[in-house]
Amino acid sequence: MIGRWTNSLAAGVMTGLWSIAAAAQSKVDFQTPQSPVARDVYDLHLIILGICVVIFVGVFGVMLYSIINHRKSVGHKAAHFHENTTVEIIWTIIPLFVLVLMMIPATKTLLTMRDASSPDMTIKVTGYQWKWGYEYLQGEGEGIRFYSTLITPRDQIEGRAAKGQNYLLEVDNPVVVPVGRKVRVLTTAQDVIHSWWVPALGVKQDANPGFIRDAWFKADSPGIYRGQCTELCGKDHGFMPIVVHAVTPEKYAAWVADQKKMMVATAVDPNKQWTLDELKARGAKVYSANCVACHQASGKGIPPTFPALSGSQVVNGPKAEQINVLLNGVAKDGKPTAMVSFKQLSDADLAAVITYTRNSWDNKTGEAVMPADVKAQRK
Amino acid sequence: MEAAHGHAHGHDEHAHHPSGMMRWITTTNHKDIGTMYLWFSFTMFMVGGIMAFVIRAELFQPGLQVVNPDFFNQMTTLHGLIMVFGAIMPAFVGFANWQIPMMIGAPDMAFPRLNNWSFWLLPPAALLLVVSLFVPGGGASAGWTLYAPLSVQLGMGMDLTIFAVHILGMSSILGSINIITTILNMRAPGMTMMKLPLFVWTWLITAYLLVAVMPVLAGAVTMILTDRHFGTHFFNAAGGGDPVLYQHIFWFFGHPEVYIIAIPAFGVVSQVIPAFSRKPLFGYTSMVYATASIAVLSFIVWAHHMYTVGMPVVGQLFFMYATTLIAVPTGVKVFNWVATMYKGSLTFETPMLFACGFLFLFTMGGFTGLVLSITPVDVQLHDTYYVVAHFHYVMVAGALFSAFSGIYFWLPKWTGRMYNETLGKTHFWLSFVFFNVTFFPQHFLGMAGMPRRIPDYALQFADFNMLSSIGAFGFGLSQLVFLYVVVKTITSGEKAPQSPWEGADTLEWTQLPSPAPYHSFETPPVIK
């Protein structure tokens, strides 16, 4: 009787789980898979879950049966059997057999997941504390590069404004990819280990500083897929999301054309003489995208790890020294500090942000640093 | 646990020992030291618990309300370190100290002074960890795994943490040497290896694991220390190092560490379940072999914590196959426990309730462990709340529940007094319900895409996080019931008979009065 009851309970639980799973973007299941690998992983998980449920019912069926029927309070006398080699061998061999069966689909999926060969396009992803950099290395869109930073306003995070629908999962520049194309992702990092994860696309790959790793995905259908950094990378680990826009090949081609046009338009004449105000305006933007997380909008930083810029000796000292800090980072006693190199920024951006810091808060040097100054100091 | 002494047992008097504080500082008695380990462990459990409160308070709602992200990371880091090294491990060493001499028919541990030193290393280490929160830059915030290069970046709190880990490791190694020597050399005549109570077996195996891996951890954190201060580049690619190297070394320690925590828990449960089933353990021999196999396998599965670092696919396949193999001996243990209960004559006093809770929830953690062992599925779930749920099922519902089971089981022997059964059962049911309210929803959070170690989260994770926080507050407060039960037992519990448990058959119940005398066996018992 108990057996029948547990069976129907198990059936009920399974039906329940599957009907919940069927609902769109369920809260108790994986995100709806949007790539072949994500689908394989989803199915693989269902198989394992099924096996676990069967074992669960078996083991806890017996346990529950004993708890109900073999209690002292219902007058059950203890039997005294123990040590039975046959039984021990049976319950060693059967699980082993089940595991071997499970390894077959698992191995297949893993081999597919790790086969990043012959991609249609390659994107290099670089993790920074705390944003992502993207560089389209090969395939349509080659040469496009940009940074992708969280755009959720501080007011929403600190509870001074209502939180938007994509709270913490929205960025200024999403990665754009065409659907149905095999996209290889090369991951690396500038400072510490990060991890690039887009759940719906079934891709998660650590980004290790100094090394390059690969992963791949192929988006099934157009859509916006959101993920987050999944390797603890310091203070703002929770604030460096990933957004992938999968679009039709036609729209992708149009996006690539737009990006190329923009790159030409924003290219700066290296010898242009900028005014102090132009530099400060541009620098303010660069500062809020790159510096504000540590050094704060007030320029007061979070000492001792993130020093204040306002009143800083370096910022108010000779400009060559400050350019050196931004290009090469700061090392203390031979070890790198949280102030890493920002040489990935353009000469104009570096000149602008240096000018901005030298003329903001308590700093009043009145000095403008030109892109040419930065260029001269690059090695 | 004053009641453990102070009773006249003929020559058992120890009036010549110093009294007051000096007694505890200079003691070489296994019972006194066991008691200190247990109280130390409970104190650290409260400290780590307060940190969990801070974490869950911040995660109660989306947005930053309680602490800043950096302090949040310090809390998750120290919560992990303190619970693993300060609460769970010392708790089981406390059990080992109290129980091993009594269960093998010995008067005390083999190296009583070493035993004293092993314990007294712990408070300074704990102090270093707690003080690290107040130094400039705050405590370590790289997670309890202290991954380089993030841990190389941090302030001096990290250095204090490294020293604390060194001292804790030293304490564990010394304690393990003592336990191994005691078990191998001090058994009463006739107590052959295959007659040892299973709890003693599990500790013998655990002690070997500790001696093998604690030096590895010490090496890993020392490499971080020299990378930080002495110009080495073990983990810095620019100097020819590799950040992933740290993870390999850490997890070579870290995976056996999981079993260092779980195996003594298996041992406690293997004493409790037969006692309350009034039936011998179903497969004693296979339990010993299964435990040893788990210990051996634990050395070849470490990289399943690193499926996403970008290992070669052959490496991933090897670690997946080896990891799933662990399910076999673990399954054998679960089947044996259930077979022991089958056709027994069961009663459900508090120790048995916690043992059943352990069996049920630890197996749930085993299932999620099986799910996580499958590399492609793990890639999706790695570093999400699913993993957080998984290891709390194993560590809290596994190890902690087993420790509670053991304390309720042996408290009458230790103190000579019975605990209040109603209060004990209340403690169990509160812990059981709130534990599941806290951690079950975290499986869903992880599957839906919430990474671990984040102070703030997207809106779709809000309701389960709130539920989880409510559960956590409830679980934490329920532990005050436990403190109350223990203090009440010590101060005013009813007198306990020599064996309050009908089915208990190990030496401490059959040969020793309650409370057990200061020196357990001055003449070895006769083992039939």
Contact (CB, 8 A) for B365 and A124: no
A163 and B332: CB-CB below 8 Å? no
Which of B379, B381, B460 would best serve as a mutation to test chain A binding (most A beta carbons within 10 A)? B379
Residue-wise pLDDT for A46-79, tens only, equals 999 999 999 999 999 999 999 999 999 998 898 9
Q: Which residue of B has its CA nearest to A46?
A: B371
Which of B239, B236, B173 shows the shortest CA–CA distance to B206?
B173
A133 forms bridges with which residues in the sheet?
A: A126, A147
ipTM: 0.91
A29 closest CB neighbour out of B142, B244, B447:
B447
Right CATH for A2-73+82-113 from 3.30.110.30, 3.30.450.20, 1.10.287.90, 3.40.50.2300: 1.10.287.90
Residue-wise pLDDT for A210-253, tens only, equals 999 999 999 999 999 999 999 999 999 999 999 999 999 999 99
pLDDT above 80: residue A6: no
> Please, what sign has the CA dihedral across residues B114, B117, B122, B128?
negative
Residue-wise pLDDT for B232-286, tens only, equals 999 999 889 999 999 999 999 999 999 999 999 999 999 999 999 999 999 999 9
Rounded CA-CA distance B34/B48 in Å is 21
Query: B506 catalytic, yes or no?
Result: no
pLDDT above 80: residue A2: no
Tell me whether B281 touches chain A (CB under 8 Å): yes
- Please tell me the number of Cα atoms within 13 Å of B94 on its side-chain side: 25
What integer best gives the mean pLDDT of chain B?
94
For chain A, list the strands marked E by DSSP: 121-128, 131-138, 145-148, 175-178, 183-189, 194-198, 203-207, 213-217, 223-228, 241-247, 331-332, 335-336
Right CATH for A276-377 from 1.10.760.10, 3.40.50.12160, 1.20.140.10, 3.40.50.300: 1.10.760.10
Which of B388, B387, B405, B400 shows the shortest CA–CA distance to B274?
B405
- Of residues A291 and B275, the one with the higher pLDDT is B275
Which of A2, A67, A92, A130 would best serve as a mutation to test chain B binding (most B beta carbons within 10 A)? A92
The catalytic residue among B5, B31, B58, B108 is: B108
Rounded CA-CA distance B260/B249 in Å is 17
pLDDT-derived band of residue A334, with 50, 70 and 90 as boundaries? low
- Domain A121-266, what architecture? Sandwich (2.60)
- In A89-128, the residues whose Cβ lies within 8 Å of chain B are 91-92, 95-96, 99, 102-103, 106-107, 109-111, 113-114
Which of B340, B128, B491, B95 shows the shortest CA–CA distance to A84?
B340
- In A160-219, the residues whose Cβ lies within 8 Å of chain B are 163, 165-169, 187, 191-193, 195, 197, 199, 202, 204-206, 208-211, 213-214
Structure pTM? 0.88
- In B112-171, the residues whose Cβ lies within 8 Å of chain A are 136-137, 141-143, 147, 149-150, 152-155
pLDDT above 80: residue A165: yes
Tell me whether A9 touches chain B (CB under 8 Å): no
Query: B373 catalytic, yes or no?
Result: no
Contact (CB, 8 A) for A102 and B324: yes
Query: What does the pLDDT read at residue A371?
Result: 86
Query: B108 catalytic, yes or no?
Result: yes
pLDDT above 60: residue B150: yes
- In A242-261, the residues whose Cβ lies within 8 Å of chain B are none
B2 forms bridges with which residues in the sheet?
A: none
Residue-wise pLDDT for B317-328, tens only, equals 999 999 999 999
- Domain B2-6+23-510, what architecture? Up-down Bundle (1.20)
What integer best gives the mean pLDDT of chain A?
88
pLDDT-derived band of residue A27, with 50, 70 and 90 as boundaries? confident
Query: What does the pLDDT read at residue A336?
Result: 66
Looking at the complex, report in whole angstroms how far the Cα of residue A270 sits from the nearest Cα belonging to chain B: 31
Span A71-95, average pLDDT: 91
Inter-chain Cβ pairs, chain A and chain B, closer than 8 A: 300
B324 closest CB neighbour out of A103, A159, A191:
A103
Domain ranges of chain B: 2-6+23-510
Range with the poorest average pLDDT among A161-175, A279-293, B24-38, B164-178: A279-293
pLDDT-derived band of residue A7, with 50, 70 and 90 as boundaries? low
Query: Using a CB-CB distance cutoff of 8 angstroms, which residues of chain A are in contact with residue B238?
Result: 210
